[in-house]
Amino acid sequence: MYVGTIKIYLVANWVHSLKEKRMIIKSLASKVRNKFNVSIAEIGNQDLHQSIVLGIACIGSDYVYADNIIEDVLNFIEKSTDAYVSNVEKEIISL
């Protein structure tokens, strides 16, 4: 069994409040969960309104499957939001 994790750092310069940021994250997280059946949550910079840090995890039977899901999620997030990706930390581990 393999666990794929990714930490995605996004910058949303147009966001002016934490309420607006939460609406963006809630919408994006819902879309990602429904499309890919992965776990997703905001895991950092919760008090900064223009910075978003998302953590995403999936489980797969082999390395390639877990890696493909993580890459597909990253591509989907890049296409689904106006925020730009400033950094990505990806890891696939075997259990």
Ordered per-residue pLDDT tens for the chain, 95 residues? 999 999 999 999 999 999 999 999 999 999 999 999 999 999 988 888 899 999 999 999 999 999 999 999 999 999 998 888 999 999 999 98
Fold of 2-94: Alpha-Beta Plaits (3.30.70)
CA separation for the pair 63, 87 (Å, rounded)? 22
Rg (CA), the chain: 13
Give the contacts of 94 (CB within 8 A, at least 6 positions apart). Answer: 1, 2, 63
- Report which secondary-structure segment, H or E, holds 18: helix 18-36
In this structure, what token pair is assigned to residue 24? 């963006």
Q: What are the residue ranges spanned by the domains of the chain? A: 2-94
Q: pTM of this prediction?
A: 0.90
CA separation for the pair 64, 25 (Å, rounded)? 28
**Torsion of Cα atoms, 43 then 44 then 46 then 50, to 10°:** -120
Provide the pLDDT for residue 31: 96
